[in-house]
Amino acid sequence: MNDAALSRPASADALNVAQLRGDFPVLGRQVRGKPLIYMDSAATALTPTPVLDAMQYYYTHCNANVHRAVHSMGEEATALYEKAREAVRGFINAASTREIVFTRGTTEAVNLVAQSYARPRLGPGDEVLVSQMEHHSNLVPWQLVCEQTGATLRVIPMTPEGELDLAQFEDRLGPRVKLMALVHVSNALGTINPVRQMIQRAHARDIPVLLDGAQGVPHGPVDVQALDCDFYAFSGHKLFGPTGIGTLFAKEALLEAMPPYHGGGEMIRTVTLEKSTWNELPYKFEAGTPNIAGAIGLGAAVEYVSRIGMDAIAAHEQHLLAEGTRRLQDVKGLRMIGTARHKASVLSFVVEGVHPHDLGTILDHDGIAIRTGHHCAMPVMAYFKVPATARASLSFYNTPEEIGHLAEAVERAKSVLS
């Protein structure tokens, strides 16, 4: 897969956005008497009716536990749960469902790798390589495991445009690096990192790579075999699915060699008072009753966006990104934070003399929902010397007209607040 595929220009085959918006019931509501304009999809994407229907079907037709019953409802629930796993496998082109572990989300997936894969293999003098633009979820777990093992955390710096410094990256790929953990798409900047190239460079030195794909999978096609990453983590609620569910992809040989992360029911093969043996993959890493409805909802979300087409979604979002960049740059005193050449549909900015939290509050009175704060990326804020940014994160259900309303509302807010 070409990393630039997530940032390709708009195609001639436009989405029927008006029709697709009808799939999202919450878009019919009003906020403070104004039609909702939702621009906070990087935090949580909206949930379409097919996902809600799939979860409701589980609860109203086969509300039973999975893998443990011979009765009909249990078998039906298990079939839906494993159908969702296959849907996720196909969506990211994993080689086998044995490589698809359901987790609570990206955060748990990264922690699983940090504790089950990295911790037993790290020691004093070893290094874990991350980037300066990581979300806290792909930074704090590595800080913890380095404290636990005596390893050192090394950082790939970025440029003023919000791109990774690839020359510095090469310098940091030393013989002590035992793992690289890298964000695919920055949630705070929208930067699409050249992960395929970076994986190739790391693998040339036998360094395994984990990708934080929370912001990668919603914006374009992802093929883990083409990327050749060793681990890929993402969350359901960023991908138009429910909260509390996510996925860890990991190459089968790595999962086989890793000890369980959690202990309990389902992840065992045999248990005595003295010792237990483990279940086959991927169940070795899915202790306890899973989020069954969440997994079914995630499977429905994957099927939903696949029907739309990830290439078409990426093209539409790039059109929105270009329009939003153009309109916001016309606002006097507005500074874009993150101007990488390859970006997903994230518009992060500050306005001179206006605190982002105040800006977000004023926009909410116009029915516009954006995110303000450090976006769980405090090192990014420190690099750009700002306490926070305003972030409008767009999805395929947004329109150019909404972009216009955003720019006009920012202008009005600036005149009021400054």
pLDDT tens-digit series, residues 333-352: 999 999 999 999 999 999 99
Burial 243-256 (b: 16+ CB within 10 A, else e): bbbbbbbbbeeebe
Q: For residue 197, how many other CB atoms are within 10 A of its CB?
A: 12
Query: What residue numbers bound the domain in which 251 lies?
Result: 52-306
Q: Which of 251, 279, 306 is the last residue of a domain?
A: 306
Residue 216 has a pLDDT of: 98
Domain check: are 229 and 364 in the same one?
no
Domain check: are 62 and 77 in the same one?
yes
Q: Find the CATH number of the domain harbouring 66.
A: 3.40.640.10
The answer to whether residue 146 is catalytic is: no
Domain check: are 161 and 276 in the same one?
yes
Domain check: are 67 and 129 in the same one?
yes
Residues in the chain, total: 418
Q: CA 415 to CA 366: how far, in whole Å? A: 15
If we measure between CA atoms, which residue out of 363, 357, 348 comes closest to residue 413?
363
Longest dimension (CA), the chain: 71
If we measure between CA atoms, which residue out of 354, 388, 383, 353 comes closest to residue 371?
388
Residue 282 has a pLDDT of: 98
Is residue 51 within 8 A of residue 300, CB to CB? The reply is yes
| Residue 44 CB contacts under 8 Å (≥ 6 apart), including other chains | 237, 238, 243
Residue 57 has a pLDDT of: 98
Q: Which two tokens stand for residue 270?
A: 């045999």
Domain check: are 16 and 161 in the same one?
no
Domain check: are 59 and 41 in the same one?
no
Q: CA 3 to CA 184: how far, in whole Å? A: 9
3-class DSSP state of 34: strand
Q: Which of 260, 278, 306 is the last residue of a domain?
A: 306
Domain check: are 121 and 212 in the same one?
yes
- 343 forms beta bridges with 191
Residue 2 has a pLDDT of: 45
Is residue 20 within 8 A of residue 308, CB to CB? The reply is yes
Per-residue model confidence as pLDDT tens digits over 1-11: 346 555 554 44
Domain count, the chain: 2
Domain check: are 302 and 317 in the same one?
no
Residue 5 has a pLDDT of: 53
Domain check: are 11 and 98 in the same one?
no
Domain check: are 106 and 40 in the same one?
no
Is residue 343 within 8 A of residue 321, CB to CB? The reply is yes
**Mind listing the pLDDT tens digit of every residue in the chain (418 residues)?**
346 555 554 443 579 999 999 999 999 999 999 999 999 999 999 999 999 999 999 999 999 999 988 999 999 999 999 999 999 999 999 999 999 999 999 999 999 999 999 999 999 999 999 999 999 999 999 999 999 999 999 999 999 999 999 999 999 999 999 999 999 999 999 999 999 999 999 999 999 999 999 999 999 999 999 999 999 999 999 999 999 999 999 999 999 999 999 999 999 999 999 999 999 999 999 999 999 999 999 999 999 999 999 999 999 999 999 999 999 999 999 999 999 999 999 999 999 999 999 999 999 999 999 999 999 999 999 999 999 999 999 999 999 999 999 999 999 999 998 7
Q: Find the CATH number of the domain harbouring 338.
A: 3.90.1150.10
Q: 324-331: long-range contacts (C-beta < 8 A, 24 or more apart)?
A: 324/392, 324/394, 324/403, 324/406, 324/407, 327/403, 327/404, 327/406, 327/407, 328/406, 328/407, 328/410, 330/407, 331/407, 331/410, 331/411, 331/414
Is residue 316 within 8 A of residue 10, CB to CB? The reply is yes
Is residue 37 within 8 A of residue 406, CB to CB? The reply is yes
Residue 7 has a pLDDT of: 52
Tokens 């982002």 — which residue? Answer: 356
Tokens 């790798």 — which residue? Answer: 113
On whether the pTM is more than 0.75, the answer is yes
Domain check: are 314 and 217 in the same one?
no
Please give the distance of CA 206 from its chain centroid, rounded to a whole number: 26
What DSSP character marks residue 165?
A: -
Residue 418 has a pLDDT of: 73
Domain check: are 227 and 366 in the same one?
no
Q: For residue 339, how many other CB atoms are within 10 A of its CB?
A: 18
Q: Which of 306, 322, 342 is the last residue of a domain?
A: 306
Is residue 193 within 8 A of residue 186, CB to CB? The reply is yes
Q: 1-4: long-range contacts (C-beta < 8 A, 24 or more apart)?
A: 1/196, 1/221, 1/222, 1/223, 1/226, 1/227, 2/196, 3/192, 3/193, 3/194, 3/195, 3/196, 3/197, 3/342, 4/192, 4/342
Residue 11 has a pLDDT of: 46
Which one of 62, 146, 229, 376 is the catalytic residue?
Answer: 376
